[in-house]
Structure 1
Amino acid sequence: MVRVVLATHNQHKAAEFQQILGDAVPGLEIVAYDGPEPVEDGVSFEANALIKARTAAQHTGLPALADDSGICVDAMGGAPGIFSARWSGVHGDAQANLRLLLDQLADLPDGSRGAHFTATLALVTPSGEETTVEGTWPGRIAREARGAHGHGYDPIFIPEGYEQTAAELGPEVKNAQSHRARAFAAAVPALAALAGTRDRP
């Protein structure tokens, strides 16, 4: 069994990854990370994911998997983007971030509320080998928060093809279709190679 540390202290994200992983990669065990949190001063999702994965790999001596993700609104030029978690000025205040974004988009008509979630996954080994992949989940911004499932911006994000928000759809749909699920699917070949169940492409 190959152990891979998930470089996050966010328990919502850790649980989501565990559910997404399922039996996709036999021989791989995701373990929790309790090391230092680096300063995420990259200017892209990829840069920040690599910063976190490199720190965790160096601290634990294990291969490390990290993601950086956020919501990108078309009418705002892709913002909040990498600043999603601290959009209101306070890192991690999900409700304040959500309320601010709704206020900023209040006057936009339904046809101009396009948005997507983006997640970039970085896999870094202690020897310095690095792989990054990206997943996106298109949709639009609702006019009010709805739903009790999920976290972050899920209550105001309506995925393409649905009328419910991501927080109304529940974990089964989200973990099958979300930006993280799509990024993870793209990372499976590299993770399988790490676990010794598949040759690297």
Structure 2
Amino acid sequence: MDANRKIIVATGNEGKMKEIRQILGNENITFSSLKDEKLQDVEIIENGKTFEENAIIKARTISDLTGKMVLADDSGLEVDYLDKAPGVYSARYLGVDTPYHIKNQHIIELLDGVKDEKRTARFVCAIACAFPDGRTITTRGTIEGRIGYEEKGTNGFGYDPIFYVPEFGCTTSELSPEEKNKVSHRGKALVAMYEELKRENVL
């Protein structure tokens, strides 16, 4: 593998970039965001019906544009009581620019009076890697939990403050970054992708 290889990550989310750098950290690889590449204004139409389809769309769009290897993830929250909503629309739920505090409160309100055993939910993450030669590989990770009754914790982002994990007795936003990376949906999907990229002699 070439020294100091760069992999573009098709996201502008700094929280995601931090997790990717922590989990896939390699001294010979630089992970570059869309903002770093000045590609944040590229239009990507996420019209897939699954997390995998949307991840592939993002990775393929940027790879075809740049001729580089690109990683992209699509992740979201599935709430069983809400027929797995918001699902693939998690980032766009109640509007793209709606703060997550409002999204979180809305979900809590929708589950008002719903007992613990029916508040089951999961985070899902699909990661796609698009290669310049046209190939694409994907991995998936999930973490099971429940929707809490209020926001708790400051370490996470997005829906983390309302996602309660019984085995830890706290939300994913209350876990340390190191703890979260070991058990999170993105952490699991990234570890699986790490193994795939090693097989491809990228890492």
- The TM-score normalised by the length of structure 2 is 0.89
Q: Secondary structure at the match of 2:173?
A: helix
CA contact 2:67–2:132 (8 Å) conserved in 1: yes
Deviates further, 173-182 or 80-89: 80-89
Q: Secondary structure at the match of 2:141?
A: strand
Equivalent position amino acid for 1:142 in 2: G
Match runs of 1:1-201 below 5 Å:
1=3, 2-23=5-26, 27-33=28-34, 34-35=38-39, 36-91=42-97, 93-196=99-202
Equivalent position amino acid for 1:5 in 2: I
CA contact 1:37–1:52 (8 Å) conserved in 2: no
* Structure 2 CA distance for partners of 1:196 and 1:17, relative to 1, 3 Å: closer
Deviates further, 171-180 or 90-99: 90-99
Q: Distance in 2 between matches of 1:77 and 1:20?
A: 31
Equivalent position amino acid for 2:114 in 1: L
- The TM-score normalised by the length of structure 1 is 0.90
Q: Percent identity?
A: 38
Q: Distance in 2 between matches of 1:103 and 1:6?
A: 34
Residue 71 of structure 1, CA deviation: 0.5
Q: Distance in 2 between matches of 1:92 and 1:174?
A: 25
Deviates further, 170-179 or 14-23: 14-23
* Structure 2 CA distance for partners of 1:92 and 1:141, relative to 1, 3 Å: same
Deviates further, 180-189 or 137-146: 180-189
What is the RMSD of the two structures over their aligned residues, measured on CA atoms?
1.6
Deviates further, 83-92 or 149-158: 83-92
In structure 1, the gaps of 5 or more residues are none
Residue 195 of structure 1, CA deviation: 3.7
Report how many residues are paired: 195
Q: Distance in 2 between matches of 1:90 and 1:62?
A: 28
Deviates further, 158-167 or 175-184: 158-167
In structure 2, the gaps of 5 or more residues are none
Equivalent position amino acid for 1:20 in 2: I
Q: Deviations over 1:155-193 (max 9, x none)?
A: 000124121111111211111110001001111232113
* Structure 2 CA distance for partners of 1:92 and 1:176, relative to 1, 3 Å: farther
Q: Secondary structure at the match of 2:170?
A: coil
Q: Distance in 2 between matches of 1:17 and 1:191?
A: 14
Q: Secondary structure at the match of 1:75?
A: helix
Q: Distance in 1 between matches of 2:174 and 2:197?
A: 31
Equivalent position amino acid for 2:8 in 1: V
Q: Secondary structure at the match of 1:169?
A: coil
